[in-house]
């Protein structure tokens, strides 16, 4: 047993490297790829006490598991590391030197915008095959049609099927790493054959969200089938591997199929998104204590992100999910970045985004605090859309002149005061999430009248 293993604290997630059937009643059997959570090191340092995702506990051999790591590669994660974008025919030929039969890359077509070119090294030259995009499908020879580039490349790695050679070795774009390899190395790859998809619970531009079963555990699954969309979701999943907190929706794993389908598997949240939960129940069902619990749950998650230098950028009640036992968990990490990065503001939700983020693309924990103030207003108005009766185009000009929404009916003044502090036009004057958490805990305990 290594020194690293003996230092694993309680709660550390690990992945099974082999099958283990158990040798006594105290043992916890598992299969290769199962995720286990460490409870404690036993008296014998070669064994841990651990539990599986279903909650069953028992002892496991330390040398059968490896620690699960966040996917944080130095390069850009890519589902298509062989795709080089806009490069010329000549540049492609240079990249495929020295010639090695089966070495290949894909580029955008320079002569036919919207189409692609498959460049393949064959003996001592490079062949260029035009990939035509027609009726929503891709084809090289008008005989085989494919949904996406990954599916096309997969086909030609198995069979030349008219090409000069089958595709053997991808020429990776500089600075990229294969996402499939990184997720597998970190212990996040799951087996497609163990995932049973059930009913659709949501639809989006990217594909479907479904309820599924993974080795006996109920899960939620985002099913993505479009190249560009899948690439964006890979980045979301990589962020989720680095974040573990009770009030963040937990990533269980990722499945990348060779045909380009991507499945992101997360814990199942039985009661759906918070905004729908609030609207469907209202004040007759949800009292002040229930609302304050949601407020605190989200604040706990955001304080954790703040402490780990992550900015969510899209905090809203629609992106908070509710579990079977009424715990609120922050989800949708598609825009979440480390605090130093910038972002295009074209698709940001105006009513939830801080003025400086919309105006100058300045995102920080303090812009998340602004959004948190809007979320508080949503919670205490039972899911109303913010800035009611104000046209969308007028929201930002009015906010920048100091306009603040009125206190929702029935909302305690002490909570409304917190909202107003979150909406300070000066980001530096807004409270931190740690400070907000302390204020809210005092309110929850009945100790504080005002922040």
Catalytically active residues are 314
What gap in Å lies between CA 88 and CA 107, rounded to an integer?
8
Q: Are strands 176-178 and 76-78 parallel, antiparallel or unpaired?
A: parallel
Interaxial angle between packed helices 433-444 and 365-380, expressed in degrees from 0 to 180 and rounded to the nearest 10: 30
What gap in Å lies between CA 382 and CA 408, rounded to an integer?
9
Of 155, 226, 178, 149, nearest in space to 81 by CA? 178
Q: Is 222 annotated as a binding residue?
A: yes
Tokens of 140: 């090289």
Q: Are 304 and 247 in contact (CB under 8 A)?
A: yes
Of 393, 419, 415, nearest in space to 405 by CA? 419
Tokens of 282: 């209202």
Order of strands, sheet of 262-267, starting from the edge strand that comes earlier in the sequence:
195-204, 207-214, 217-224, 262-267, 251-256
Q: Are 267 and 249 in contact (CB under 8 A)?
A: yes
Q: Are strands 116-122 and 103-108 parallel, antiparallel or unpaired?
A: antiparallel
DSSP 428: G
Q: Which residues contact 335 (CB under 8 A, 6 or more apart)?
A: 312, 313, 314, 343
Q: Quick check: bond before 160 cis, omega within 30?
A: no
Count of residues making up the chain: 451
Q: Are strands 310-311 and 195-204 parallel, antiparallel or unpaired?
A: unpaired
Count of Cβ atoms closer than 10 Å to residue 61 Cβ: 16
Tokens of 338: 């480390």
The DSSP code sequence of 86-104 is S--HHHHHHHTPSP-TTEE
What gap in Å lies between CA 226 and CA 221, rounded to an integer?
16
Q: End-to-end distance of the chain based on CA atoms, in angstroms?
A: 50
DSSP 401: T
Angle among Cα 352, 312, 367 to the nearest 5 degrees reads 50
Q: Are 177 and 77 in contact (CB under 8 A)?
A: yes
Q: Which residues does the annotation place in the binding site for ATP? A: 222
């Amino acid at each position: 047993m290594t020194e690293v293993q003996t230092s694993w604290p309680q709660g550390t997630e690990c992945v099974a490297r082999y099958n283990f059937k158990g040798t006594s009643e105290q043992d916890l059997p598992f299969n290769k790829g199962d995720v286990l959570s460490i409870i404690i090191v036993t008296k014998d340092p070669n064994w841990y006490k651990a539990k599986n995702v279903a909650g069953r506990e028992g002892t496991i051999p330390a040398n059968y598991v490896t620690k699960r790591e966040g996917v944080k590669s130095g390069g850009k994660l890519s589902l298509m590391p062989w795709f080089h974008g806009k490069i010329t025919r000549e540049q492609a030929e240079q990249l495929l030197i020295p010639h090695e039969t089966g070495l290949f890359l894909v580029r955008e077509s320079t002569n036919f915008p919207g189409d692609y070119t498959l460049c393949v090294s064959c003996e001592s030259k490079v062949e260029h095959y035009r990939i035509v995009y027609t009726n929503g499908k891709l084809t090289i020879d008008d005989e085989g049609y494919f949904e996406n580039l990954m599916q096309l490349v997969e086909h030609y790695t198995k069979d030349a099927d008219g090409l000069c050679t089958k595709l053997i070795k991808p020429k990776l774009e500089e600075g990229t790493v294969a996402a499939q390899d990184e997720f597998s190395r970190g212990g996040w790859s799951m087996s497609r054959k163990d995932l049973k998809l059930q009913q659709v619970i949501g639809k989006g531009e990217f594909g479907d969200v479904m309820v599924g079963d993974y080795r006996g555990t109920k899960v939620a699954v985002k099913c993505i089938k479009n190249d560009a969309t899948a690439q964006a979701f890979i980045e979301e999943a990589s962020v989720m591997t680095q974040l573990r907190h009770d009030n963040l929706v937990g990533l269980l794993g990722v499945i990348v199929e060779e045909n380009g389908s991507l499945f992101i598997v997360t814990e199942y949240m039985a009661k759906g998104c918070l905004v729908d939960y609030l609207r469907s129940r209202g004040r007759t069902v949800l009292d002040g204590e229930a609302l304050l619990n949601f407020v605190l749950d989200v604040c706990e998650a955001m304080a954790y992100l703040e402490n780990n230098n992550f900015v969510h950028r899209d905090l809203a009640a629609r992106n908070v999910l509710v579990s079977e036992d009424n715990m609120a968990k922050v989800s949708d990490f598609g825009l979440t970045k480390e605090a130093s990065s910038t972002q295009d503001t074209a698709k940001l939700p105006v009513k939830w985004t801080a003025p400086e983020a919309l105006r100058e693309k300045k995102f920080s924990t303090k812009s998340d605090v602004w959004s948190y103030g809007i979320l508080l207003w949503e919670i205490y108005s039972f899911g109303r859309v913010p800035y009611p009766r104000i046209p969308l185009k007028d929201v930002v000009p009015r906010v920048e002149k100091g306009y603040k929404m009125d206190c929702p009916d029935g909302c305690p003044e002490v909570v409304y005061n917190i909202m107003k502090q979150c909406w300070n036009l000066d980001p530096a004057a807004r409270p931190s999430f740690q400070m907000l958490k302390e204020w809210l805990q005092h309110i929850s305990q009945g100790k504080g009248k005002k922040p």
